[in-house]
Amino acid sequence: MNLPPADSNRYPSAPPVKFRHVAIVGKYQALGTRAALDEIAHFLLAQGCDVSLELDTALNTGLTSYQTLPIEQVGTECDLAVVVGGDGTMLGAGRHLARFGVPVVGINQGRLGFMTDIPFEDYPSTLADMLRGNHEEDPRLLMQASVWRDGVCVFDGIAINDVVVNRASSGMIDLKIDVGGHFVARQRADGLIISTPTGSTAYALSAGGPMLHPSIGGWVMVPIAPHTLSNRPIVLPSHDEIVVEVMGGREVSANFDMQTVTSLLHGDIIRVRQSAHRLRLLHPVGWSHFDTLRNKLHWNEGL
Protein backbone atom coordinates (compact mmCIF):
# COMPACT_ATOMS: atom_id res chain seq x y z
CA MET A 1 0.00 0.00 0.00
CA ASN A 2 1.35 3.37 -1.00
CA LEU A 3 1.36 5.91 1.81
CA PRO A 4 0.86 9.61 1.06
CA PRO A 5 4.02 11.67 1.20
CA ALA A 6 4.89 13.03 4.63
CA ASP A 7 3.64 16.51 5.31
CA SER A 8 6.72 18.42 6.45
CA ASN A 9 4.54 21.26 7.75
CA ARG A 10 2.39 19.06 9.96
CA TYR A 11 4.85 19.25 12.83
CA PRO A 12 6.64 22.54 12.16
CA SER A 13 9.80 23.21 14.12
CA ALA A 14 10.18 26.36 16.16
CA PRO A 15 11.21 29.42 14.13
CA PRO A 16 14.94 30.07 14.11
CA VAL A 17 16.29 32.42 16.74
CA LYS A 18 17.26 35.98 15.86
CA PHE A 19 20.03 36.04 18.48
CA ARG A 20 22.38 33.18 17.73
CA HIS A 21 25.10 33.70 20.33
CA VAL A 22 23.76 34.63 23.78
CA ALA A 23 25.81 35.46 26.86
CA ILE A 24 24.58 35.12 30.44
CA VAL A 25 25.68 37.58 33.13
CA GLY A 26 24.60 36.74 36.66
CA LYS A 27 24.42 38.09 40.19
CA TYR A 28 26.68 35.41 41.56
CA GLN A 29 26.64 36.54 45.22
CA ALA A 30 23.02 35.49 45.82
CA LEU A 31 21.97 32.06 47.07
CA GLY A 32 20.41 29.88 44.39
CA THR A 33 22.03 31.79 41.54
CA ARG A 34 24.05 28.82 40.25
CA ALA A 35 20.95 26.69 39.73
CA ALA A 36 19.06 29.56 38.09
CA LEU A 37 21.89 30.35 35.67
CA ASP A 38 22.35 26.68 34.78
CA GLU A 39 18.63 26.37 34.11
CA ILE A 40 18.60 29.42 31.84
CA ALA A 41 21.68 28.18 29.98
CA HIS A 42 20.00 24.82 29.28
CA PHE A 43 16.88 26.64 28.12
CA LEU A 44 18.87 28.80 25.67
CA LEU A 45 20.67 25.74 24.29
CA ALA A 46 17.31 24.04 23.75
CA GLN A 47 16.13 27.11 21.82
CA GLY A 48 19.02 26.71 19.38
CA CYS A 49 21.35 29.37 20.78
CA ASP A 50 25.07 29.15 21.33
CA VAL A 51 25.61 29.99 25.01
CA SER A 52 28.53 31.63 26.81
CA LEU A 53 28.84 32.67 30.43
CA GLU A 54 30.51 35.92 31.36
CA LEU A 55 33.85 34.97 32.89
CA ASP A 56 33.38 36.30 36.44
CA THR A 57 29.89 34.79 36.55
CA ALA A 58 31.25 31.38 35.60
CA LEU A 59 34.21 31.49 38.00
CA ASN A 60 32.13 32.62 40.98
CA THR A 61 29.37 30.07 40.45
CA GLY A 62 31.54 27.15 39.37
CA LEU A 63 29.63 26.80 36.09
CA THR A 64 32.73 26.10 34.04
CA SER A 65 31.26 23.53 31.64
CA TYR A 66 30.11 26.33 29.34
CA GLN A 67 32.21 28.55 27.12
CA THR A 68 33.31 31.61 29.08
CA LEU A 69 34.04 35.12 27.83
CA PRO A 70 35.37 38.24 29.55
CA ILE A 71 32.77 41.01 29.52
CA GLU A 72 34.56 42.86 26.70
CA GLN A 73 34.41 39.74 24.50
CA VAL A 74 30.73 39.42 25.28
CA GLY A 75 30.44 42.85 23.68
CA THR A 76 32.40 41.92 20.56
CA GLU A 77 31.23 38.34 20.01
CA CYS A 78 27.66 37.97 21.29
CA ASP A 79 24.33 38.97 19.75
CA LEU A 80 22.49 39.31 23.06
CA ALA A 81 23.25 39.45 26.78
CA VAL A 82 20.82 38.00 29.32
CA VAL A 83 21.40 39.63 32.71
CA VAL A 84 20.08 37.62 35.67
CA GLY A 85 19.82 39.50 38.97
CA GLY A 86 18.65 42.95 39.97
CA ASP A 87 19.19 46.45 38.70
CA GLY A 88 22.66 46.57 40.27
CA THR A 89 23.72 43.61 38.15
CA MET A 90 22.28 45.34 35.08
CA LEU A 91 24.14 48.57 35.88
CA GLY A 92 27.45 46.75 36.13
CA ALA A 93 26.96 44.79 32.90
CA GLY A 94 25.31 47.63 31.00
CA ARG A 95 28.19 50.06 31.50
CA HIS A 96 30.55 47.57 29.81
CA LEU A 97 28.21 46.46 27.01
CA ALA A 98 26.62 49.76 25.94
CA ARG A 99 29.62 50.87 23.89
CA PHE A 100 29.41 47.68 21.83
CA GLY A 101 25.71 48.12 21.03
CA VAL A 102 24.81 44.67 22.35
CA PRO A 103 21.10 44.45 23.28
CA VAL A 104 20.38 43.36 26.85
CA VAL A 105 17.48 41.48 28.45
CA GLY A 106 16.98 41.53 32.22
CA ILE A 107 15.60 38.60 34.23
CA ASN A 108 14.79 39.70 37.75
CA GLN A 109 16.21 37.90 40.76
CA GLY A 110 16.61 41.08 42.79
CA ARG A 111 14.16 43.33 44.61
CA LEU A 112 12.82 46.25 42.59
CA GLY A 113 13.87 45.38 39.05
CA PHE A 114 13.10 48.54 37.08
CA MET A 115 15.49 47.37 34.32
CA THR A 116 15.52 43.63 35.00
CA ASP A 117 11.79 43.46 34.41
CA ILE A 118 11.12 39.82 33.45
CA PRO A 119 10.15 37.76 36.53
CA PHE A 120 12.27 34.63 36.81
CA GLU A 121 9.22 32.37 36.80
CA ASP A 122 8.05 33.89 33.48
CA TYR A 123 11.30 33.72 31.54
CA PRO A 124 10.64 30.48 29.54
CA SER A 125 7.57 31.77 27.73
CA THR A 126 8.72 35.39 27.55
CA LEU A 127 12.31 34.80 26.46
CA ALA A 128 11.41 32.18 23.83
CA ASP A 129 9.36 34.79 22.00
CA MET A 130 11.96 37.52 22.37
CA LEU A 131 14.75 35.32 21.01
CA ARG A 132 12.82 35.16 17.74
CA GLY A 133 12.55 38.91 17.37
CA ASN A 134 9.26 39.57 19.14
CA HIS A 135 10.36 42.33 21.47
CA GLU A 136 10.40 46.08 21.99
CA GLU A 137 13.65 48.02 22.13
CA ASP A 138 14.08 50.72 24.75
CA PRO A 139 17.29 52.74 24.21
CA ARG A 140 18.45 54.56 27.34
CA LEU A 141 20.52 57.74 27.56
CA LEU A 142 23.89 57.38 29.28
CA MET A 143 26.22 59.88 30.91
CA GLN A 144 29.88 60.25 30.09
CA ALA A 145 31.41 61.51 33.33
CA SER A 146 34.96 62.61 34.03
CA VAL A 147 36.95 64.03 36.94
CA TRP A 148 39.62 66.67 36.26
CA ARG A 149 42.45 67.70 38.59
CA ASP A 150 44.86 70.50 37.64
CA GLY A 151 43.81 70.16 34.02
CA VAL A 152 44.39 66.40 33.90
CA CYS A 153 41.59 63.82 33.59
CA VAL A 154 41.96 61.39 36.51
CA PHE A 155 38.75 59.42 35.87
CA ASP A 156 36.47 58.84 32.91
CA GLY A 157 33.53 56.48 32.69
CA ILE A 158 29.91 55.83 31.84
CA ALA A 159 26.96 56.15 34.22
CA ILE A 160 23.56 54.62 33.52
CA ASN A 161 21.76 55.90 36.62
CA ASP A 162 23.55 58.87 38.11
CA VAL A 163 26.63 60.78 39.14
CA VAL A 164 26.57 61.74 42.82
CA VAL A 165 28.90 64.18 44.57
CA ASN A 166 28.63 63.81 48.35
CA ARG A 167 30.47 63.83 51.64
CA ALA A 168 31.65 61.06 53.94
CA SER A 169 32.05 63.19 57.08
CA SER A 170 30.15 65.85 58.99
CA GLY A 171 29.67 69.28 57.47
CA MET A 172 28.32 70.43 54.15
CA ILE A 173 30.20 70.60 50.88
CA ASP A 174 30.46 73.69 48.72
CA LEU A 175 29.89 73.23 44.97
CA LYS A 176 29.95 75.59 42.01
CA ILE A 177 27.65 74.49 39.19
CA ASP A 178 27.68 75.49 35.51
CA VAL A 179 25.32 74.17 32.84
CA GLY A 180 25.96 74.63 29.14
CA GLY A 181 28.72 77.13 29.87
CA HIS A 182 26.50 79.29 32.09
CA PHE A 183 26.91 79.75 35.83
CA VAL A 184 23.91 78.32 37.68
CA ALA A 185 24.58 78.35 41.42
CA ARG A 186 27.02 78.13 44.29
CA GLN A 187 25.47 75.44 46.47
CA ARG A 188 26.13 74.29 50.02
CA ALA A 189 24.53 70.93 50.71
CA ASP A 190 25.19 67.35 51.73
CA GLY A 191 25.67 66.58 48.05
CA LEU A 192 24.34 66.73 44.52
CA ILE A 193 22.76 64.10 42.27
CA ILE A 194 22.87 64.33 38.49
CA SER A 195 20.57 61.65 37.13
CA THR A 196 19.53 60.18 33.81
CA PRO A 197 15.83 59.41 33.19
CA THR A 198 16.70 55.79 34.05
CA GLY A 199 18.16 56.88 37.38
CA SER A 200 15.28 59.20 38.19
CA THR A 201 13.55 56.32 40.01
CA ALA A 202 16.65 55.62 42.13
CA TYR A 203 18.58 57.90 44.51
CA ALA A 204 17.26 61.07 42.84
CA LEU A 205 13.69 60.04 43.64
CA SER A 206 14.58 59.41 47.29
CA ALA A 207 16.07 62.91 47.47
CA GLY A 208 12.86 64.50 46.19
CA GLY A 209 13.47 64.57 42.45
CA PRO A 210 10.83 63.93 39.76
CA MET A 211 10.45 60.74 37.74
CA LEU A 212 11.32 61.17 34.06
CA HIS A 213 10.01 58.92 31.30
CA PRO A 214 12.96 57.07 29.71
CA SER A 215 12.28 58.65 26.31
CA ILE A 216 12.84 62.19 27.61
CA GLY A 217 16.16 63.72 26.56
CA GLY A 218 17.06 65.32 29.85
CA TRP A 219 18.91 65.08 33.14
CA VAL A 220 17.62 65.67 36.66
CA MET A 221 19.85 67.68 39.01
CA VAL A 222 18.84 67.18 42.65
CA PRO A 223 20.51 68.78 45.69
CA ILE A 224 20.85 66.57 48.77
CA ALA A 225 19.68 68.42 51.91
CA PRO A 226 20.62 71.91 50.63
CA HIS A 227 21.41 74.71 53.09
CA THR A 228 19.25 77.09 51.05
CA LEU A 229 15.78 75.57 50.80
CA SER A 230 15.07 77.37 47.52
CA ASN A 231 17.66 75.09 45.85
CA ARG A 232 15.25 72.64 44.26
CA PRO A 233 15.49 69.79 41.73
CA ILE A 234 15.68 70.95 38.13
CA VAL A 235 15.31 69.17 34.79
CA LEU A 236 18.04 70.04 32.28
CA PRO A 237 18.52 69.28 28.57
CA SER A 238 20.83 66.33 28.05
CA HIS A 239 22.79 68.08 25.29
CA ASP A 240 24.20 70.57 27.81
CA GLU A 241 27.37 69.70 29.72
CA ILE A 242 27.14 70.01 33.50
CA VAL A 243 30.31 71.14 35.26
CA VAL A 244 30.61 70.85 39.06
CA GLU A 245 33.64 72.29 40.88
CA VAL A 246 34.45 71.33 44.45
CA MET A 247 34.95 74.59 46.35
CA GLY A 248 34.99 73.25 49.93
CA GLY A 249 34.13 70.40 52.25
CA ARG A 250 35.81 67.40 53.82
CA GLU A 251 36.09 63.85 52.45
CA VAL A 252 34.21 64.64 49.24
CA SER A 253 33.74 61.87 46.69
CA ALA A 254 32.08 61.25 43.35
CA ASN A 255 30.01 58.08 42.89
CA PHE A 256 29.10 56.68 39.49
CA ASP A 257 25.98 54.50 39.63
CA MET A 258 26.93 54.05 43.32
CA GLN A 259 29.36 51.34 42.18
CA THR A 260 32.52 53.29 41.34
CA VAL A 261 33.88 55.87 43.79
CA THR A 262 36.54 58.52 43.28
CA SER A 263 37.85 60.72 46.10
CA LEU A 264 37.83 64.45 45.31
CA LEU A 265 40.05 67.37 46.33
CA HIS A 266 39.25 71.06 46.49
CA GLY A 267 39.42 72.46 42.98
CA ASP A 268 38.52 69.16 41.29
CA ILE A 269 36.01 69.44 38.46
CA ILE A 270 33.37 66.87 37.51
CA ARG A 271 32.14 67.06 33.92
CA VAL A 272 28.94 65.27 32.93
CA ARG A 273 27.77 65.09 29.33
CA GLN A 274 25.67 62.85 27.14
CA SER A 275 27.43 59.69 26.03
CA ALA A 276 27.60 58.76 22.38
CA HIS A 277 26.36 55.29 23.36
CA ARG A 278 22.95 53.98 24.43
CA LEU A 279 21.98 51.06 26.59
CA ARG A 280 19.81 48.86 24.36
CA LEU A 281 17.25 47.32 26.72
CA LEU A 282 14.85 44.79 25.24
CA HIS A 283 11.38 44.17 26.68
CA PRO A 284 8.53 41.78 25.84
CA VAL A 285 5.96 42.97 23.30
CA GLY A 286 3.40 45.19 25.03
CA TRP A 287 5.83 46.43 27.68
CA SER A 288 4.97 49.82 29.18
CA HIS A 289 7.05 52.03 31.46
CA PHE A 290 3.86 52.93 33.29
CA ASP A 291 3.15 49.27 34.02
CA THR A 292 6.62 49.04 35.53
CA LEU A 293 6.07 52.10 37.72
CA ARG A 294 2.67 50.87 38.85
CA ASN A 295 3.95 47.40 39.72
CA LYS A 296 7.23 48.38 41.36
CA LEU A 297 5.91 51.39 43.28
CA HIS A 298 2.64 49.65 44.25
CA TRP A 299 0.36 52.30 42.83
CA ASN A 300 -3.37 51.69 43.10
CA GLU A 301 -3.03 49.33 46.04
CA GLY A 302 -6.13 49.26 48.16
CA LEU A 303 -8.46 50.43 45.38
CA distance 115 to 289: 10
Catalytic residue among 7, 87, 122, 138: 87
87 is an active site residue: yes
Listed in sequence order, the residues at least 6 apart from 251 whose beta carbon sits closer than 8 Å to its beta carbon are 167, 168, 169, 263
Give me the amino acid identity at 38.
D
The half-sphere exposure of 114 on its side-chain side, counting CA atoms within 13 A, is: 20
**Amino acid of residue 98:** A
Collapsed DSSP state (helix, strand, coil) of residue 294: helix
169: number of Cβ within 10 Å? 9
Question: What 3-state DSSP class applies to 122?
Answer: helix
- Strands 260-263, 173-179: parallel, antiparallel or unpaired by DSSP? unpaired
3-class DSSP assignment, residue 205: helix
**Residue 15 to residue 281: CA distance in whole angstroms:** 23
Q: Are 129 and 284 in contact (CB under 8 A)?
A: yes
Please, what is the angle between helix 123-131 and helix 33-46, to 10°?
Answer: 40
Q: What angle do CA 130, 133, 134 make, to 5 degrees?
A: 60
How many other CB atoms are found less than 10 A from the CB of residue 232?
A: 12
The answer to whether residues 98 and 279 touch, using CB atoms and an 8 Å cutoff, is yes
Say if CB 223 and CB 189 are below 8 A apart: yes
Closest C-alpha among 141, 140, 129 to residue 104 = 140
Q: Which residues are catalytic?
A: 87
